[in-house]
Amino acid sequence: MSVVSYGCPRTGDEVETAIQADRLTLQRMQSMQLTIWVWCPHCMAGHQINASDAKVQEDAQLDPIAAR
């Protein structure tokens, strides 16, 4: 599982959501054409985005316990 992020439609900046999903879950959300409501820290406002505009960060999988 990793954090779902998206590009802000107003500023184009990347925003991390509170949603955790893996690539397969995100693909299912995209096939259902889900709309996600997210709070944007850049605009200080909420955005409605399509799941097809969101992405997951698979490489951010650092486990501090396993790394010891």
Binding residues vs Zn ion (CB under 5 A) = 8, 10, 40, 42-43
Q: Which residues contact 1 (CB under 8 A, 6 or more apart)?
A: 20, 21, 22
Least gap, CB of 6 to Zn ion (angstroms): 9
Least gap, CB of 43 to Zn ion (angstroms): 3
Pick between residue 17 and residue 25 the one whose CB is nearest to Zn ion.
Answer: 17
* CA R_g for the chain: 13
Least gap, CB of 46 to Zn ion (angstroms): 9
The token duo for 26 is: 């995100």
